[in-house]
């Protein structure tokens, strides 16, 4: 009897143990596959599904048929490395110092934050990239299983979920570096059928360039179709989220490299796989009008994959569990930034909220058309400049080669090419105030590191940019306050300008000098102070900035001061900034003549390739 009782107890215990074991055994989460198909350098304006003047793209349109079309998707930066660094980090470039194109030096992510594919790998994903990276960040070994032109999802383990990026270079800017001889071959697209935007010359060359690019868009669409076909061939189409998007805007003159709508408003279509419709609070086959930006893309992928979002990123998901379609529809803001593009410097920030776009030019004297060697390989760029110099452009077409306004406001629904600045119109005062405050709050809260010159950040901050920013928040706010003097009326700003020109702080003097250059001849009362700074400032770049102001207002030839500073510096990054001012003086209204002797420049300075690129242009016969 005792034996039977013991046996019963043992059997009951075994059943309880088995049941408990089954309950505590981790449940395997079935995760969707995710593919990004990325075309280079094309804004949404070149696709008919987004813009009436665009080309048809049947393969991309097929993704939209059972997916979502995002009408307000934005790159936060308008050029490759800055945009791709934003994507891979899910964070704003000016906070991380990843927004300069291209890197003079790579920077680390903040402590505890990784490139987002690393989190996918940890969750069991096979991660591959084919093939462009172009990051301004250090990349750890745990990001990609493979990143090359051979990378494919087909190398994964059986049943393993995957994240795959496929880059298409067919629409890249370099494809428009055709010659006059190439033009004789013609285009498939009728040159007389294309739209030439109103700020461009209405010439045969611009018609041809648009038609030629339409051909490239259609070729790119064919390549998109090839990726889709492979997924279907492998039986993966119904279990894979497919994102198609452009890596930033472009690519005709005045788009790539500039944070106007042509530079940052990108196409985005997301195919919703039937197997994972439950992860999406939207109806497939519809349009989403809410604003999404590149900072959000990585967060969205992680959320779709069921991976917890890391602390320390700036983006938030627009698809996946817990994301409400109604909430996404209410999103109506995007923030964008532009600084150095190759050898050309500027500092521009913009906030778009709904239909209004507020653009802040911190150095408005740096006109948009300032020489960038790579941009001007395009025949259309060359012709645009030639027509301007010949006086054959109208007012709107000429804006590209003339000083900008410190503040710009556009109704981009009524004025998509941003030709009619509303910032000074009385009826828009409150809109300007609201968006100005929005932008300043963003720059302070990050904080935005660009109030320091890049060469200085490279020396003191690039080992840990985020930590540097947090430690110097008050200084950054103070420099931003000086930089913002150029949006005031001169009479309201001049006391503070005078105070900061005489400051012991080098960067307050730097921004006070930029402010003088912004006001131009209105600031002539500071000519004597500027002459003293140009002669004796302890910081070389401030001597150059003082000479820049004096040169712009025609009160002193800047050649000797700028040339000597260039010879004296032992910092290639500082020299690139100096050379930007030299090119501005050379090509600006006064056409100052420089004769720079390369053998007088420090050998260390000449190790920076961008210095050589500028010298090539300046010394060109």
- Quick one: pLDDT at residue 1? 43
Specify whether the CB–CB gap between 124 and 104 falls below 8 A. no
Specify whether the CB–CB gap between 55 and 48 falls below 8 A. yes
Query: Is residue 54 exposed (0-12), middle (13-18) or buried (19+ Cβ within 10 Å)?
Result: buried
- Tokens 């299983």 belong to 145
Q: ∠ CA(254), CA(255), CA(261), 5° rounding?
A: 120
Bridge partners (DSSP) listed for residue 29: none
* Integer Cα distance of 574 and 493 in angstroms: 28
* Integer Cα distance of 416 and 355 in angstroms: 10
Give which of 317, 235, 232 is closest to 280, Cα–Cα: 317
pLDDT in tens, 62-113: 999 999 999 999 999 999 999 999 999 999 999 999 999 999 999 999 999 9
pLDDT in tens, 322-356: 999 999 999 999 999 999 999 999 999 999 999 99
172 Cβ contact list (under 8 Å, min separation 6): 40, 41, 251
Could you tell me the two tokens for 384? Answer: 């645009």
Q: What is the mean pLDDT of residues 527-543?
A: 98
- Which 8-state DSSP code applies to residue 156? S
Could you tell me the two tokens for 45? Answer: 């304006």
Could you tell me the two tokens for 16? Answer: 């309880």
- Quick one: pLDDT at residue 30? 86
* Integer Cα distance of 110 and 221 in angstroms: 37
Specify whether the CB–CB gap between 405 and 422 falls below 8 A. no
Give which of 482, 481, 457, 485 is closest to 471, Cα–Cα: 457
| Ranges assigned E (strand) in 1-134 | 33-39, 67-74, 126-130
Q: What is the mean pLDDT of residues 571-597?
A: 98
Query: Is residue 48 exposed (0-12), middle (13-18) or buried (19+ Cβ within 10 Å)?
Result: middle
- Quick one: pLDDT at residue 14? 44
% of the chain beyond a pLDDT of 70:
95
Query: Is residue 12 exposed (0-12), middle (13-18) or buried (19+ Cβ within 10 Å)?
Result: exposed
Q: ∠ CA(394), CA(516), CA(499), 5° rounding?
A: 160
Name which residue leads in pLDDT, 12 or 563.
Answer: 563
Specify whether the CB–CB gap between 267 and 47 falls below 8 A. yes
Q: What is the mean pLDDT of residues 447-455?
A: 98
The per-residue pLDDT of the chain, averaged, comes to 95
Q: CB 310: neighbour CB atoms within 10 A?
A: 16
* Integer Cα distance of 110 and 99 in angstroms: 15
Query: Which strands make up the sheet holding 146-147, listed edge to edge?
Result: 146-147, 126-130, 162-168, 33-39, 240-246, 265-271, 67-74, 286-293
| Per-residue pLDDT band at 5 (split at 50, 70, 90) | very low
SS3 412: coil
Specify whether the CB–CB gap between 451 and 511 falls below 8 A. yes
Could you tell me the two tokens for 424? Answer: 């000074």
Model confidence at 17: pLDDT above 60: no
Helices (H), ranges, 234-378: 261-264, 294-304, 325-330
121 Cβ contact list (under 8 Å, min separation 6): 127, 142, 143, 145
Q: CB 406: neighbour CB atoms within 10 A?
A: 22
What domains are there in the chain, each with its CATH number?
Answer: 33-180+216-337 (3.40.720.10), 447-475+488-618 (1.25.10)
- Tokens 């910092």 belong to 571
Q: What is the mean pLDDT of residues 389-403?
A: 98
Distance of CA 283 to the CA centre of its chain: 30
pLDDT in tens, 152-168: 999 999 999 999 999 99
Q: What is the pTM of this model?
A: 0.95
Q: What is the mean pLDDT of residues 228-252?
A: 98
Strand 333-338 relative to strand 348-353, pairing: antiparallel
- Quick one: pLDDT at residue 621? 64
Query: Is residue 399 exposed (0-12), middle (13-18) or buried (19+ Cβ within 10 Å)?
Result: buried
- Between the CA of residue 105 and those of 62, 147, 345, 540, what are the distances in Å? 41, 21, 16, 22
Q: What is the mean pLDDT of residues 374-388?
A: 98
Specify whether the CB–CB gap between 521 and 511 falls below 8 A. no
- Quick one: pLDDT at residue 282? 97
- Between the CA of residue 228 and those of 58, 224, 322, what are the distances in Å? 12, 6, 28
Specify whether the CB–CB gap between 62 and 54 falls below 8 A. no
Helices and strands per DSSP (H, E), number in the chain: 23, 12
Would you say how long the chain is, in residues? 621
Name which residue leads in pLDDT, 621 or 613.
Answer: 613
- Quick one: pLDDT at residue 390? 98
% of the chain beyond a pLDDT of 90:
95
Could you tell me the two tokens for 254? Answer: 């005045």
Q: What is the mean pLDDT of residues 395-413?
A: 98
Model confidence at 9: pLDDT above 50: no
Question: Distance from first CA to last CA of the chain, Å, rounded?
Answer: 112
Give which of 507, 513, 554, 553 is closest to 534, Cα–Cα: 513
| Per-residue pLDDT band at 582 (split at 50, 70, 90) | very high
| Per-residue pLDDT band at 22 (split at 50, 70, 90) | very low
**Virtual torsion, Cα 271, 273, 277, 278, nearest 10 deg:** -120
């Amino acid at each position: 009897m005792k034996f039977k009782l013991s046996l019963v107890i043992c059997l009951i215990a075994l059943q309880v143990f088995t049941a408990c074991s089954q309950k505590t055994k981790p449940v395997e989460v079935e995760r969707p596959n995710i593919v990004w198909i990325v075309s280079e350098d094309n804004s949404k304006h070149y696709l008919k599904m987004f813009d009436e003047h665009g080309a048809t793209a049947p393969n991309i349109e097929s993704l939209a048929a059972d997916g979502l079309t995002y009408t307000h998707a934005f790159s936060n930066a308008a050029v490759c490395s800055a945009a791709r660094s934003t994507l891979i980090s899910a964070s704003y470039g000016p906070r991380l110092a990843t927004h300069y194109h291209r890197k003079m030096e790579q920077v680390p992510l903040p402590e505890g934050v990784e490139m987002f594919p690393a989190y996918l790998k940890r969750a069991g994903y096979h991660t591959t990239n084919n093939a462009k990276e172009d990051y301004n960040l250090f990349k750890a070994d745990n990001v990609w299983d493979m990143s090359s032109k051979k990378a494919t999802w087909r190398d994964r383990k059986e049943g393993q979920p995957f994240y795959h990026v496929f880059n298409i270079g067919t629409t890249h800017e370099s494809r428009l570096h055709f010659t006059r001889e190439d033009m004789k071959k013609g285009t498939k697209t009728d040159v007389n059928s294309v739209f030439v935007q109103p700020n461009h010359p209405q010439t045969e060359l611009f018609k041809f360039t648009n038609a030629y690019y339409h051909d490239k868009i259609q070729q790119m669409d064919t390549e998109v179709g090839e990726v889709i076909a492979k997924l279907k061939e492998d039986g993966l189409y119904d279990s894979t989220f497919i994102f198609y998007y452009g890596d930033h805007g472009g690519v005709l003159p005045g788009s790539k490299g500039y944070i106007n709508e042509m530079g940052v408003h990108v196409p985005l279509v997301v195919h919703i796989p039937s197997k994972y419709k439950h992860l999406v609070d939207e109806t497939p086959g519809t349009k989403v009008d809410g604003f999404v930006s590149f900072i959000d893309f990585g967060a969205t992928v992680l959320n779709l994959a069921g991976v917890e979002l890391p602390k320390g990123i700036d983006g938030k998901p627009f698809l996946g569990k817990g994301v409400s379609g109604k909430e996404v529809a209410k999103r109506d803001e995007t923030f964008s930034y532009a600084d150095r593009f190759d050898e050309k410097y500027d500092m521009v920030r913009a906030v778009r909220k709904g239909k209004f776009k507020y653009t802040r030019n911190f150095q408005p004297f740096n006109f948009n058309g300032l020489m960038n060697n790579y941009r001007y390989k395009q025949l259309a760029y060359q012709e645009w400049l030639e027509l301007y110099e010949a006086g054959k452009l109208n007012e709107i077409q000429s804006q590209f080669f003339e000083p900008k306004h410190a503040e710009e406001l556009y109704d981009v629904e009524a004025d998509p090419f941003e030709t009619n600045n509303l910032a000074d119109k009385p009826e828009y005062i409150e809109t300007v105030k609201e968006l100005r405050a929005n932008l300043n709050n963003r720059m302070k809260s990050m904080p935005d590191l660009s109030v320091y010159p890049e060469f200085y950040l490279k020396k003191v901050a690039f080992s840990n940019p985020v930590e540097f920013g947090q430690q110097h928040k008050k200084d950054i706010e103070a420099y931003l306050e000086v930089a913002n003097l150029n949006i005031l009326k001169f009479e309201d700003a001049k006391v503070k300008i005078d105070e900061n020109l005489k400051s012991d702080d080098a960067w307050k003097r730097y921004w006070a000098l930029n402010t003088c250059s912004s006001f131009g001849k209105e600031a002539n009362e500071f000519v004597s102070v500027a002459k003293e700074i140009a002669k004796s400032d302890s910081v070389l770049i401030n001597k150059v900035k003082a000479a820049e102001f004096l040169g712009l207002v025609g009160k002193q030839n800047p050649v000797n001061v700028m040339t000597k500073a260039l010879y004296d510096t032992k910092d290639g990054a500082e020299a690139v900034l100096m050379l930007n001012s030299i090119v501005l003086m050379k090509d600006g209204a006064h056409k100052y003549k420089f004769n720079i002797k390369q053998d007088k420049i420090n050998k260390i300075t000449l190790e920076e390739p961008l210095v050589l690129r500028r010298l090539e242009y300046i010394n060109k016969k």
